[in-house]
Structure 1
Amino acid sequence: MDTTVSSQFVSALLMAGVMIPEGLKLKMSGSRTEGAYIKLTLSMMKQFGIDVFRKENQFYIPFNSSYQIPVYQVEPDVSGACYFYAMSVLLGITVVVKDVHFTSIQGDIKFLDVLKQLGCSIEDTDNGISVRGTKDGTYPGIVVDMNDFSDQTMTLAAIAPFATSETIIKNIAHIRFQETDRICAIVKELTRLGIKCEECEEYKGISIQPGTIIPAAVETYDDHRIAMAFTLIGLRVGGIVINNYKCCAKTFENYFDIIDDLTK
């Protein structure tokens, strides 16, 4: 199984392997054999009492007719939480998302490291991780490898136009093959908003220059993450229209209801 484009097929086979009477042997190839979603799947299977044996890039999943855990507490969706954490740096406010903690096994928790590089103060409290933006609302551009938490590429792309210097996002070539060609979508929509954004072949990613946003309608390409991320730009400057906003229903059906409640 080639992981270069997506590791999710590996996750699916790992979970299904327990249902095969003779077990399942799986050999991985490609550039994302250590991907965050593979790690998450293995961690959860272990929590359920499923032993997966690994040698280098090969897995063996034995047959298992029952799970050894009667009740399981599902973590909050960290990918969805990151849009609200991004508001801290964009708006210079403090954001707490309940029950999100650094113990999370989800790969997108790494996005908080990006916010820390942008000058945010971060604390894990009893209620959840608290992120406080900078006092003056300014922050630098950064160079960051987002290969292992690439779902947040669009979120950083929404933050980057307001930085004081260039932002470079590296090793995200695989996001071309997701809900839409996300690299192309980011470049097109930031350009539409008056921001210089270019593909960088040497980085397998994109570069984004700071600039002044020109209010416009944003195309979402039926991609929930484009819709949710570019909404953040509108919270900072206004005048942004999100076309086909209901595509958010894929993962966060009431996203815009929550945004409305927070901005009343």
Structure 2
Amino acid sequence: MGVWLHGVDGSRPLPPVDPDAPVMLQYTSGTTGVPKGVLLRHRSLVNVAKLTMETAQTEPRPVCVNPLPMFRTAGCGLSTLGPLWLGGCVAMVERFEPVAVLDLIRREHATVLFYVPTIVGALLETVRASDRPTPALRTVMGGADSVPRAVIEAAVVGVPDEKWGETVGVAVCLRQAPEPGGRAHLKAHCRAALTPFKVPQHWFHVTDLPVTPSGKVRRFKLLEETTEGRLDPLP
């Protein structure tokens, strides 16, 4: 922080701020229903950014690339206050284009990339189709779980069940057309990484997931497609 404040006129006092005072009104993405307003306070917004960067063991003075929308807390909170806390800088992305973002990472010698699943999936596809070397990053930070290489994206949804009330289902976007035995392979992968009750019982194949403007899965739409039988079972 001292490095970031170097050269600032320290004689002018900063305005007093109550850590528990409201600072931002954010709206949820609408992944489970109608977006809802959430009142955020100074203390919680700063702590989320600070603790996330520390948990990820991000090095001081990072050069970060932020392709996330600024109307989401990940874009305007974590991805800005986090680098600020560590005395770093942020390269903003006005419009996400995979090639342009990869060029930006190379040009700015970025060390940190913030992402959502749709962004990292597009970047990986672009890198695989290019003969240029993959940019070197020290930290890639986002909200997606790791999935097998054959899977581009996946989303879990609760499937209504008469006996248990709800069971686990998953919709997957595959890199190639589904082949017989694919479900068994992915299920074995999940069994090796998850506790038994988290392993999906229902598997569906989709070409695209329904997403919000910020790239998050609209789970209530996915649930509608599941319950109405509009999703193809994964073989």
Which structure features the higher share of strand residues? 2
Which structure features the higher share of helix residues? 1
Q: Same fold (TM over 0.5)?
A: no
| TM-score, normalised via structure 1 length | 0.26
| TM-score, normalised via structure 2 length | 0.28
